[in-house]
Structure formats: structure tokens, C-alpha cells
Amino acid sequence: MWLPTGALDSIRRQVQSSVQRAVDGQLVPEETWSEPAGDPGLFGPGSVTWTVHADLPAMLVGGLSALLLQTLHPLAMAGVADHSSFRQDPLGRLRRTAAFVGVTTFGSTSAAERAIAAVRRVHRAVHGTAPDGRPYDANDPDLLTWVHTAEVSSFLRAYRRYGPRWLGAAHVDRYFAETAVVARALGARAVPQSAAEVRAYLRQVRPQLVAGPQALAAAAFVVNGPGPAAFGQPLEDVGRGVLVQAAIDLLPRWARAELRLREPLPGERFTLHRALNAAFAALRLMLGPNEVVQAAMARARSTDPDQLGVTA
């Protein structure tokens, strides 16, 4: 069906507004992306991190998959169960995570540092005792390493499966090395910085990962709860169940087994990949250029003469 340019622009603005509200909840100040001139932020336009984190469709699937994977660490899961409002406000946690990833990726260096400092302050109050009797603390360096590794490995798997650009082995290693900067700033230690190190880390931590009652309840909530449908009409059109199934499909087989999630059949997996790649291509067209990335790009590539001590 043919639509005039004005109608297409109107639809695109509605889509962008809906996704903006869903991801950010409330708008991040524009100067976070546009100032100061010449500041590349923590990564910069040439980074693999910018490429991966700029693709909203893949990040949505990767984020949901990361939430499921992270539940398998009993101490991390206890902190979420005791101190998070994910049941009362499930989208709030996703929005806060999305805002943190956005600011630390595309924001100025000072904005990223403020976001990291804010998370560290919040973590000071997150401590207690897990159901198995062990103490937990959100500032525990080992827990921070787990949460980070589960998150970025999920983002990357989603991008490599559904993203618009091909990433080779060298890009993968660069991504893990780049994003480790944020994990270390948060207090993580021995952060994996390559695909080989991530595989070794997951083998090392695997004996600690188990789906206890809290993890099973959280996974069931992610799978059956509000989920992506609450993100608005554009993502509802893709289908909440399809996005959740894509997130489950990204999990390692052992993680699906622990969480008692059904293994997709080969035919189901093929159909899922084809359907989502088509839907995500259409969604990217509807969203148009990423305004945050464009503003950050302009900031990083511009030069403020006053900062350099020269006269324009």
C-alpha cells in the first residue's frame, strides 16, 4: 500500500516516540549526547560497542536473554528478589538498564562516569542473605563480573544473530575488551576480554549456577509476564511471544535446561530466525536514523576552539 511521504513521516515519529518512552521511561537530557564537543565518550564512533548497542531490536532480545541468564546465579538473583521492584514495575528495571547502557555507551565521558558512580551508590544498599544462607553484596567484584559477562555476551549473541552487520572474530574480541572498561569501573575483577576468555569464564562459573525457586519464578515472570507487549504497539506487532522465544533461543542449552525452558525444534528455530530478521528489518526502517547515535557522533567529531585554545 502506497502512503504519501507526510504519512510515512507521521508513522515514523509515532514509532520513535513509542520506543523512546519504552526504553528511556523519561528522556535523558540532550546534552548527555551532544556535549562537550570533541569528547568521544568511553568508546567512540569507531568502536564495536557503538555498532552493537546502536541496534535496538537486537538489544531488546539480548536484554531479555541476559535477564534470564542472570537469574541462574543464586546470589545475584537473591539481590534482585530482595531489592528490586521487577514484579511491580518490570519495565522499570529494563528501562533503567537501557538508560545505563545508553549513557555509558553514547554519552559524554563525564555523563558515563556519573552514571557509573550512581550505580555504585545504589549497590551500597543491596546486600543481605540468600535463601541458601550465604551473604550477598551487589558490590561483590565476582558478582559484578557475572552480571556484566552475562549481559554483554547476551547482547553480542543477539546482534550476531539479528543485527544488520556481520561481526567477525576480531570484532567479537574487541567488543569484550571495550565493554570490560565499564565492568571494571563498577568494581568487577578478572573481567573476560575476549571470546576465549568468556568461554573459559562460563566454564569456571558454571558449577555455581543453578535455578533455585527464585530463579524459576523470575524466569516464569519474564516468559509469561508483561514482557515486550508493554513496550508499545511497534513491538507488540512483532509479537511478545516471538521476542521471548528469541531470547530463550539465545541461551546456552544448559541454561535452558536449568530454567526448565523447552528446547526449540530445528524447524521452529529456522522459522523464528527468518520471521524476526524480517520484522526487525522493517522496524529499523520505521525507526529511521538513531538520533542519540547521530548526536553522539556529532559531539565526538566536532571540535570546540575554546577547548583547544585557538580562535575560530
* Residue range 21-65, pLDDT digits in tens: 444 444 566 777 888 999 999 999 999 999 999 998 899 899 999
Q: Which residues of the chain have pLDDT under 70?
A: 1-29, 85-93, 225-240, 303-312
Sign of CA dihedral 291, 293, 296, 298: negative
Q: Which of 68, 10, 100 is nearest to 227 (CA)?
A: 68
Distance CA 88, CA 10 (A): 33
Q: What count of residues does the chain have?
A: 312
Number of domains in the chain: 1
24 lies in a domain? no
Q: Which three cell numbers stand for residue 26?
A: 523519561
Q: What is the DSSP letter of 279?
A: H
User: First CA to last CA across the chain, in angstroms?
Assistant: 51
* DSSP letter (8 states) at residue 190: S
φ, ψ at 137 (rounded to 5°): -150, 125
**pTM here?**
0.85
The number of CA neighbours under 13 Å toward the Cβ of 226 is 13
Report how far residue 229's alpha carbon sits from residue 219's, in angstroms, rounded to the nearest whole number: 17
Within its chain, how far is the Cα of 176 from the centroid?
14
Query: Vertex 269, ends 264 and 272: CA angle to 5°?
Result: 120
Residue 295: inside a domain, yes or no? no
Report the pLDDT value the prediction gives residue 109, as an integer from 0 to 100. 95
Instruction: Name the burial class of residue 113, with classes exposed (0-12), middle (13-18) and buried (19+) by CB atoms within 10 angstroms of its CB.
Output: middle
Does some domain include residue 102? yes
Place of cell 528469541: 246
Amino acid (1-letter code) at residue 304: D
Q: DSSP class of residue 134?
A: -
Q: In what helix (H) or strand (E) does residue 12 lie, and over which residues does it extend?
A: helix 5-24
d(CA 79, CA 140): 11
Tell me which residue range forms the domain holding 188: 30-218
Has residue 78 been placed in a domain? yes
Report residue 107 as a C-alpha cell. Answer: 554519552
Tell me the DSSP string of 196-246. HHHHHHHHHHGGG----HHHHHHHHHHHHSSGGGGG-HHHHHH-HHHHHHH
